[in-house]
Amino acid sequence: MRRRRLQDQAVNQLEQLKQHTTVVADTGNFKQLAQFAPRDATTNPSLILKAVQQAEYAPLLTEVVKAHPRVPLERVVDEVLVRFGLEILKVVPGRVSTEVDARLSFDTAATIARAHHLIALYERAGIARERVLIKIAATWEGIQAAKALEHEGIHCNLTLLFSFCQAVACGDAGVTLISPFVGRIYDWYKKQAGAAWDEAANAGENDPGVKSVAAIYNYYKHFDIPTEVMGASFRNAGQILALAGCDLLTISPDLLAALQGSEGPVPRRLDPAAAKGMDIHARTLNEPCFRYALNDDAMASDKLAEGIRAFAADAAKLDRMIEELCK
């Protein structure tokens, strides 16, 4: 009945997209969420930093910091991250993703310890762990941390994912969800091509970021790998529409608004039934094979390192803001 109504009246592209894909809001700005009615929301250090620099959120940061005097800095940071997560969960009916400090991306034990603390804070606030995804960079060490956490019933979202080998390793590890990045892959190939870049020829299903996510989605569905695929990091609405049918898509408020304000058909592009009929070969990666495959992919190794550096830099800025408030 709902599908028939959609055909009988002009419906914006965001509502049409929701017929194929679970829409997730990619923001720390929880006051924007309700208007888009996403099921889940994702955050990262950069988004939280951007939020606390706004006048409407600065008091929240001050409140959390002042409520935890003489507490180690990393613990105060976790309190801030979880406070944003708690506010988000008042708006979305599903899950929130909260990220482990990117500076721990190559330390499995420290990542596990930080995840335990984040989950403990949520549970202390009355939030079941099923409503939280712990975001971890998809390094080898991060994937092993996620594997251990999943065995404990702590669900993980593996982020900064740019390569097929990262996706294979995450599937083998049994992680709940991965966030393959579309826009940053697009950025890399566009920069490499320089003046030779043809935007029209590399749009839609031919976008290099879109092709990467589609390949991962088809692999998972072909082999019945239960890990959810959530496309992330979009530069334009065309990239989003080209991935209609993906399990989830996490989208910035600006692009959510653009889709909400646009009409036109949104056909399903990714389909598990179609993936079943594809000629796809299974892969298994041990640590040496993973490290070599990632190293052999210049784009993925460049963007993974760049992403970790950027998130770490923003985490350090948040640290400094908190330290100033503690004085």
| pLDDT of residue 206 exceeding 90 | yes
Question: Does residue 273 lie in a domain region?
Answer: yes
| In-domain check, residue 133 | yes
Note whether residue 310 is domain-resident: yes
What rounded mean pLDDT belongs to the chain? 95
* pLDDT at residue number 1: 43
Phi, psi for 155 (deg, rounded to 5): -85, 145
Mean pLDDT of 192-213: 98
Is-contact 244 251, C-beta < 8 A?
no
Q: Can you give the pLDDT at residue 8? A: 40
Q: What is the CATH number of the domain that holds 209?
A: 3.20.20.70
Structural domain contains residue 3: no
Concatenate the DSSP letters of all residues of 134-147 into one string: EEEE-SHHHHHHHH
- pLDDT > 70 in the chain, percent: 97
For residue 32, the model assigns a pLDDT of 87
List Cβ neighbours of 268 (8 Å cut-off, separation of 6 or more).
20, 244, 245
Q: Is the pLDDT of residue 88 over 50?
A: yes
Please answer whether residues 232 and 177 qualify as being in contact, where contact means their C-beta atoms are separated by less than 8 angstroms: no
Q: Is 98 exposed, middle or buried (0-12, 13-18, 19+ CB in 10 A)?
A: buried
What total of structural domains would you count in the chain? 1
Q: Measured between alpha carbons, how far is 203 from 214 in angstroms, rounded to an integer?
A: 14
What is the reported pLDDT for 4?
A: 47
Assigned domain for 42 exists? yes
Answer yes or no: is pLDDT of 289 > 60: yes
> pLDDT tens digit string along 258-278?
999 999 999 999 999 999 999
In a domain, 2, yes or no: no
Asked, for residue 126, whether it belongs to a domain, the answer is: yes
**Is pLDDT above 80 for 327?**
no
More confident residue, 298 or 43: 298
In a domain, 5, yes or no: no
Any idea which residues carry the catalytic annotation? Answer: 135
Domain range enclosing 169: 11-326
61: confidence class by pLDDT, cuts 50, 70, 90? very high
Rounded average pLDDT over 174-199:
98
pLDDT of residue 9: 55
